């Protein structure tokens, strides 16, 4: 199975975009080797700006460039982009509704050995609460490349989370479209709703459960804001119960977003949120941490069994 880190796909797509869009400029906070914006910097040094370890200044600079008509991509680790620069993203980008795309890498527990200090598990909650902000979490390399192109064509603020760890390239499913979730697997017993690296885990879990006679649908909810309410409600009607899976705190993330949609519907269904529950991550290999927190395929399958048993 082919694997690629979504940060690698981001770097490649950004460099390719630079050849066809002269208005695209890229900023980084002294982490271009890790965020992979270095690929763009080598090809277009006159359109690349390293702002140093000063994420707040980077966002202010990005806002100024956007006011000059540029399409701006600004990158750092998620812990710093969403954490240290949140005020500037709110005040300088979202309030005036500027064309700045914040692409943050090294989020979630798959950051691995860097440990709790660098494993951003709250970034999606911080970003999806902001008015005017589009929030995207691609599931694999090809989807990341498509998302870069879509965000470049889209006018307005955006936040995209990409991962450090290499993840499987998924097969099949409809093409990427901002705001439109992708149904990757049909099923009627349980709907699995995921984003980012957890989409592959849910597909693996669905295969394991199918061997036991449990048919799970898998919905790739790559855009958290705006959420595809129509697809979520259709899945709820077809399956009668939903399990959300995310490499993020269950508070404020995908799970709560789905719960809000379902609770506001005329016919709500049971929803179980699965992710990090009010704790920081720990240091270790990405695969080990996913297994420990039951966020790998077998772990998700176990949580799904428990949920179905509780419901009877």
Within 13 Å and on the Cβ side, how many CA atoms surround 196? 30
Known catalytic residue: 55?
Answer: yes
**Residue 257 near residue 124 (C-beta atoms within 8 A):** no
Q: Please, which residues bridge with residue 245 across strands?
A: 194, 274
Q: What backbone phi and psi angles, to 5 degrees, belong to 252?
A: 85, -5
Among 8, 15, 55, 204, which one carries the catalytic annotation?
55
Task: Please count the other Cβ atoms lying within 10 Å of the Cβ belonging to residue 183.
Answer: 17
Tell me the C-alpha distance between 218 and 199, whole Å.
8
Active site residues: 55
């Amino acid at each position: 199975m082919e694997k690629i880190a979504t940060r690698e796909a981001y770097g490649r797509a950004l460099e390719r975009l630079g050849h066809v869009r002269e208005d695209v400029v890229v900023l980084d906070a002294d982490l271009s080797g890790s965020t992979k914006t270095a690929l763009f910097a080598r090809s277009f040094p006159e359109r690349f700006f390293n702002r140093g370890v000063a994420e707040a200044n980077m966002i202010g600079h990005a806002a100024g460039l956007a006011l000059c008509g540029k399409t701006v991509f600004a990158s750092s680790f998620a812990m710093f982009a969403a954490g240290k620069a949140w005020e500037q993203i709110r005040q300088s980008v979202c309030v005036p509704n500027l064309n700045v795309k914040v692409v943050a890498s090294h989020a979630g527990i798959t950051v691995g050995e860097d440990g709790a200090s660098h494993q951003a598990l709250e970034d999606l909650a911080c970003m999806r609460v902001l008015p005017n902000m589009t929030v995207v979490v691609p599931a694999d390399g090809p989807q990341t490349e498509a998302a870069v192109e879509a965000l470049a064509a889209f006018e307005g603020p955006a936040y995209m989370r990409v991962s450090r760890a290499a993840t499987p390239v998924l097969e099949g499913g409809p093409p990427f479209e901002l705001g439109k979730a992708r149904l990757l697997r049909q099923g009627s017993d349980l709907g699995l709703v995921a984003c980012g690296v957890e989409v592959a885990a849910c597909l693996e879990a669905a295969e394991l459960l199918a061997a036991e006679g449990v048919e799970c649908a898998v919905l790739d909810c790559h855009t958290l804001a705006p959420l595809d309410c129509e697809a979520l409600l259709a899945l709820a009607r077809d399956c009668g119960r939903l399990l959300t899976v995310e490499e993020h705190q269950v508070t404020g993330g995908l799970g709560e977003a789905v719960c809000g949609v379902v609770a506001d519907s005329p016919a709500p269904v049971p929803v179980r949120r699965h992710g990090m529950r009010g704790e920081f991550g720990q240091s270790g290999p990405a695969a080990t941490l996913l297994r420990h927190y039951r966020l790998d395929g077998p772990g998700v399958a176990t949580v799904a069994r428990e949920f179905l048993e509780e419901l009877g």
